[in-house]
Amino acid sequence: MSVSDQTATPGGNAEELVRGTSLWQDAWKRLRKNRMAVASSFVVCFLALACVAGPPLLKAAFNYDYETQDLDYGAQAPSLAHWFGTDFHGRDLLTRSLYGGRVSLTVGLLAAIVSATVGTIYGAVSGYVGGRIDAIMMRIVDILYSLPYMFLVIILVTIFGKNLLLVFLTLGLVGWLMTARIVRGQVLSIKEREFVRAARSVGVRGPMIVLHHLIPNTLGPIIVYFTLTVPAMILQEAFLSFLGLGVQAPRPSLGALITEGANHMVVFWWELVFPGAVMGMLLFSLNFVGDGLRDALDPQMKS
C-alpha cells in the first residue's frame, strides 16, 4: 500500500488522506518501468496485427495468397516484388510467413487457454477439497507428469487425426499439469483466510467459493504462467509440424515453413531464414512479456 499525506493550507485544519494502491495498479506501474517488456509487448502487437491484416492486404494489392502455386516461377530470392522471396512452388514467402504466424499464434493462444482453464479448475478443486481427494487428484497429476509430454501428444494426434482443432486441443489437454500444481499451491495458502471463512459462515457453497473467491485471488500467477505457456505451445506446434503431425498443407504454420526451409536451405536459404526470424522474434517477445509480468506481479519486487 502507498500512503500520501496532504496538509491543508496554513490557518486551516490539517487533513491526512490515505489512498490505497491495489496490486494491479502497482503491477502496472512496475511493468511500465520494464523497458524490455514494454518494447516486447509492442513487437508482439505489431506481429499479431501484421499476421492478421497482412495476408488480406497482400492479396488485394498484389494478388498473393498462401496456397496458389506457380511452378514455372519457382523459388526466387528476395526482391522488391517479393520481400521474403518465393518458395519452391512459387508462392510468396512473406504472405505464407504472415499466414503461418497467424496459425501459430492461434494454436498457441487457444492451447494455452485450454491448458489454463483445465489446470485452474482442477487445481482449485483439489486444493479446496483437500484430504484424500486432494491426494488422489495430485497422484494422477504426478503420473501424467511422469509420462513423456510430446509422446502423449503424438499418440493423440496419430489416433484422432491431423487437423488444426485437434492440434490445439491436444496440446492444451496435456499441458495443464503445471497450471494445476501452481493453482493448488495458491489455493492451499488462501483457503483458510478470513474472507473464505466469512463466505462459509453465511452459507456460500463450495463451488461458489472456488469460482468467486479462490480462483480470482490466484489470477496473478495464472496470468504469468499463461503468458509463458503461449510461446511454449507455439514451439510445441512447430515441433509437431516438423514431424509432419501438426498443421497440414497447404495451410502453413511457422513450424511447417521452417521444415520446408530446412529441406531446401542449402540452395534456397531464404525459405528458412525469414520464417525462422519471424518465429524467433515472436517467441523472444512473448517470453520477455511473460518475464515482465512475472516481475510486476511479484509482491517482493515492490520498491
CATH number of 293's domain = 1.10.3720.10
Contact 123, 179 (CB under 8 A): yes
| Rounded Cα distance, 154 and 172, in Å | 13
Residue 145 lies in domain: 42-301
Radius of gyration of the chain (CA): 24
Residue 26, domain member (yes or no): no
pLDDT at 191 over 70: yes
Residue 131, domain member (yes or no): yes
pLDDT at 18 over 50: no
Amino acid letter for position 230: V
Residue 10, domain member (yes or no): no
pLDDT at 56: 93
Contact 234, 221 (CB under 8 A): no
Residue 283, domain member (yes or no): yes
Name the helix (H) or strand (E) containing 291: helix 270-296
The answer for residues whose C-beta is within 8 angstroms of residue 158's C-beta and 6 or more apart is: 245
Contact 291, 284 (CB under 8 A): no
pLDDT at 274: 93
Better-predicted residue by pLDDT, 273 or 7: 273
pTM: 0.79
pLDDT in tens, 241-257: 777 777 777 788 888 88
Choose among 63, 67, 87, 68: nearest CA to 77: 87
Q: Is the peptide bond before 250 cis (omega within 30 degrees of 0)?
A: yes
Q: Indicate the number of domains in the chain.
A: 1
Contact 118, 172 (CB under 8 A): yes
pLDDT in tens, 146-187: 888 777 777 877 777 777 777 778 888 888 888 999 999 989
Residue 57, domain member (yes or no): yes
Residue 55, domain member (yes or no): yes
pLDDT in tens, 92-151: 999 999 999 998 898 888 888 989 999 999 999 999 998 899 999 999 998 888 888 777
Residue 107, domain member (yes or no): yes
pLDDT at 20: 53
Residue 24, domain member (yes or no): no
pLDDT at 2: 43
Averaged pLDDT, 271-292: 89
